[in-house]
Structure 1
Amino acid sequence: MKPRAFLIISLLVIVAFLAVACGASTTPAAQEPVAESSESATATGCEDALGCVTVAPGDSIKIASALSVSGATESLGLDEQYGAEIALEERGDIMGFSLELQSEDDGCSAEGGQTAATKIASDSSVVAVVGHTCSSSCTPAANIYNDANLLMVSPSCTAPALTAEGSHVMSFLRTAPNDKVQGRVMAEFAYNELGARSAATIHDGSPYAEQLQQVFADVFTELGGQILAQEAINVGDTDMRPVLTSIAAQAPDMIYYPIFIAEGGFITNQAKEVAGLEEVILAGSEGMISPDFLSVTGDAAEGMYLSGPDLNFSGTRYDEFLKVYREVAGQDPTASFHAHTYDATNLILDAIENVAQKDATGNLIIGRQALRDALYATRDFEGITGQLGCDQFGDCADPKISINQVQGGEFVTITGASGS
């Protein structure tokens, strides 16, 4: 996807409101000092341990995005793309240098993530990356960026391993909630609120789906429930009846399949056609919280439960953001992570403002280690999605999760935000 033209003049009043309302800073922790930003800085060269990006007068500060903007998951990535664009347009410039968004498609796959990350990492003028969309693409991309001393802040890669001790790499941060929270919330809801005592899970082999269903299974078992089957399908499968028939033989109370729209749609449409599953509880996750999912499932999704980040943001900031979003997109948000992308982009921009310096010739110097330190030192950032702070493994989210149910062809939130 080519970079979209930035917003029209008529939106600037709303944007100005957002700039004031969302002006929280990336506050460095006392034990992690970062370089001060100064327009009169006299730095004459790069002394940063990881190197510097030098932006010449008249050039732009380049931010890359790597999001899933085509194919079956394009509604997820395009939703995020708008969030990034709005954040950059709102900011306008940093120390007199304009902002540029270089957009790449990550394809919501390991291959797509690797391709997009390799292209971005080969451009030494890229300061940081907003993305990726899917954990399957984030996993290889994080290592590529780490080798290139690039930072990424993902709005939606939720797999626990990405921020786990032993597997986390320093290039990776996220504003999306860790699925250790989401899996627990869904398991507790299933056991305590729905009264389910047995369950089966289905995943598509992706880090996102496999790890989320495993968290659900572990917590559900801890609560006293039984996991009767943990089945796997492949991305691109269309006939889900063999897997569903196998599950039906176990007679679970519930099937949890935290996957994406295409395969999730086939499971939803075919489940109630399988003998023994007529009354089974169907449940999924935010990968299917999209109008596209409702379009392909119709009445088959009625009554289904879906976990995901809580989108009931309070205050006028989100209301004003939505006004801009609707002007840009021509519609309401199509997925769950537009606001998380807006916050991710602003975390990056605030960090750049904190560390950037001008040298004697007017070049803007951005140290990569200093930028990393500034992001990891984020505390008490007032974002649209909540109050954000980054830990040593890159988890920055205010991890609020809600449960939604399909009622009358719409997603209706039926539980308030929970998580920790």
Structure 2
Amino acid sequence: MDGIKTSALFAALLSTICMTAQAEVVKVGVAGPLTGGQSNFGKDDERGVRLAVEDLNRKPMIINGQAVTFAVVSEDDAADPKTGVSVAQKLVDSGVKAVIGHYNSGVTIPASRIYNDAHIPMITGAASNPAVTQQNFPYVFRLAASDNVMGARMAEYAANVLHAKRAAVIDDRTAYGSGVADVFVATAKKNGLEIVGREYSNDKATDFNAILTHIKAERPDVIFYGGYYAQAASIGRQTKQLGLEIPILGGDGICSVDMPKLAAGSLDGRGYCAQGGAPLATLQGGADFASRYEEKFGAKNDIYSPAFYSATMVVAQAIKAANSTDPEKFVPLLKQTQFSTLVGRVAFDKTGEWIDAPVTVYKVSGDALNPIR
């Protein structure tokens, strides 16, 4: 009897060894700004993907009778559209089965054509310009709220909660910044807000004094900034120096955990931003994700890593449902299936947009962002 058990155990072990030896490696690409002023977001996104792959590889799935493991292929797009296109082609050439990214809308839009033409699915967990999905590329998806949702939400918040009557707008001329600012302006006007000025900057600016001095003369009740967190922090400090201590609003680009710290207290109680998704602490498994993230990377997670983690899991679930690692076979299921993820229920419409994407408004309190609505 012992001999029979030993033989059975040996056979099972041999089968496992053979299966592991023949395991298919599914490469998952991730791209974003790993260097430069927005590297905080890029690294956070990448870490979300790495955590997902680590979880998937704990118990390799069997696809078409073969064990499958996942591997991360990460590239730095430096938040630059030209670099992003080169990175996209590099990822395609490396044989990735899917790409999770990019972060910036201005990079995502041109890069998405490369992936679509190669029939490689791309899911961004951050890029919010509506044009990302308006291209109607069948291989392009967004697991985030679009500017149409976030810009509108902040305009409605300014009018209906802050009771603002006059708003000034600054945008950084990026695809993201201009897009979310355009939506804010259009929705603000519908809600009775007067736009008393629109100023322009860039995503590397540090000195806003001239712009803010001009805005101060227009006596706005709020300022909306279409851009990213480092510049929003500078605007916070410089408005305080100018005695222009009115609410500063923005979309998800300014909604970084580092923004209040960079603002050095200047936005305490007057900084507001919108972020796609529900607060991590309210999500099932959210506390565990935050704890594992901090333990592995020695830092607290930022805004987007849960979405990038979830996007990776969505790809894996589609592969499992299709019983194939061939994008031609599993991509159609991305628009036919409802997925259960860390960020909640995920279903995509025919354009690749997350159906009923939730949005949360945050307020700066001390050195933290607190969800308020």
Give the shorter-chain TM-score range.
0.7 to 0.9
Q: Using a 3 Å threshold, how does the CA distance of structure 1 residues 343 and 247 change in structure 2: closer, same or farther? A: same
Q: 1:404 aligns with which of 358, 362, 373?
A: 362
Q: Using a 3 Å threshold, how does the CA distance of structure 1 residues 120 and 312 change in structure 2: closer, same or farther? A: closer
Q: Distance in 2 between matches of 1:398 and 1:70?
A: 33
Aligned residues of 1:187 and 1:219 also touching (Cα < 8 A): yes
Deviation digits for residues 392-420 of structure 1 (CA, Å, limit 9, x no counterpart): 111125522222111222212222xxxxx
Q: Distance in 1 between matches of 2:74 and 2:25?
A: 15
Residue equivalent to 2:31: 66
Listed as ranges, the gaps of 5+ residues in structure 2 are 1-20
Residue equivalent to 1:144: 114
Residue equivalent to 1:413: 371
Q: Structure 2-normalised TM-score?
A: 0.87
Task: Give the superposition deviation at 1:58.
Answer: 4.4
Q: Distance in 2 between matches of 1:227 and 1:168?
A: 32
Q: Using a 3 Å threshold, how does the CA distance of structure 1 residues 319 and 398 change in structure 2: closer, same or farther? A: farther
Aligned residues of 1:325 and 1:332 also touching (Cα < 8 A): yes
Task: Give the superposition deviation at 1:284.
Answer: 2.1
What secondary structure is seen at the aligned counterpart in 2 of 1:405?
strand
Q: Distance in 1 between matches of 2:329 and 2:214?
A: 54
Q: Distance in 1 between matches of 2:250 and 2:186?
A: 16
Q: Using a 3 Å threshold, how does the CA distance of structure 1 residues 117 and 390 change in structure 2: closer, same or farther? A: same
Tell me whether 1:171 sits opposite 2:139 in the alignment.
Answer: yes
Task: Give the superposition deviation at 1:78.
Answer: 1.5
Extract structure 1 runs of 4+ deviating beyond 6 A: none
Q: For 1:104-119, what aligned pairs fall within 5 Å after superposition?
A: 104-119=75-90
What secondary structure is seen at the aligned counterpart in 1 of 2:37?
helix
Task: Give the superposition deviation at 1:190.
Answer: 0.5
State the structure with bigger RCO (CA 8 A, min sep 6), 1 or 2: 1
Q: For 1:216-295, what aligned pairs fall within 5 Å after superposition?
A: 216-274=184-242, 278-295=244-261
Aligned AA for 1:355?
A
Q: Structure 1-normalised TM-score?
A: 0.78
Residue equivalent to 1:130: 100
Task: Give the superposition deviation at 1:202.
Answer: 1.0
Task: Give the superposition deviation at 1:118.
Answer: 1.9
Q: Distance in 1 between matches of 2:203 and 2:153?
A: 26
What secondary structure is seen at the aligned counterpart in 2 of 1:298?
coil
Aligned residues of 2:280 and 2:287 also touching (Cα < 8 A): no
RMSD: 1.9
Tell me whether 1:370 sits opposite 2:329 in the alignment.
Answer: yes
Task: Give the superposition deviation at 1:134.
Answer: 1.4
Listed as ranges, the gaps of 5+ residues in structure 1 are 1-55, 358-365, 416-420
Task: Give the superposition deviation at 1:187.
Answer: 0.9
Aligned AA for 1:201?
V
What secondary structure is seen at the aligned counterpart in 1 of 2:27?
strand
Q: Distance in 2 between matches of 1:273 and 1:331?
A: 31
Q: For 1:260-409, what aligned pairs fall within 5 Å after superposition?
A: 260-274=228-242, 278-303=244-269, 304-309=271-276, 310-333=278-301, 335-357=302-324, 366-379=325-338, 381-396=339-354, 398-409=356-367
What secondary structure is seen at the aligned counterpart in 2 of 1:342?
helix
Q: Distance in 2 between matches of 1:111 and 1:262?
A: 22
Q: Using a 3 Å threshold, how does the CA distance of structure 1 residues 107 and 346 change in structure 2: closer, same or farther? A: same
Aligned AA for 1:331?
A
Task: Give the superposition deviation at 1:85.
Answer: 1.2
Q: Distance in 2 between matches of 1:403 and 1:144?
A: 34
What secondary structure is seen at the aligned counterpart in 1 of 2:285?
helix
Q: Distance in 1 between matches of 2:161 and 2:210?
A: 30
Q: Distance in 2 between matches of 1:112 and 1:301?
A: 34
Aligned residues of 1:313 and 1:384 also touching (Cα < 8 A): no
Aligned residues of 1:152 and 1:171 also touching (Cα < 8 A): yes
Q: 2:56 aligns with which of 80, 91, 97?
A: 91
Task: Give the superposition deviation at 1:312.
Answer: 4.4
Task: Give the superposition deviation at 1:295.
Answer: 2.8
Q: 1:181 aligns with which of 149, 152, 156?
A: 149
Residue equivalent to 2:124: 154
What secondary structure is seen at the aligned counterpart in 1 of 2:53?
helix
Q: Distance in 2 between matches of 1:270 and 1:191?
A: 24
Task: Give the superposition deviation at 1:101.
Answer: 0.8
Report % sequence identity. 28
Q: Distance in 2 between matches of 1:378 and 1:110?
A: 32
Task: Give the superposition deviation at 1:144.
Answer: 1.1
Aligned AA for 2:29?
A
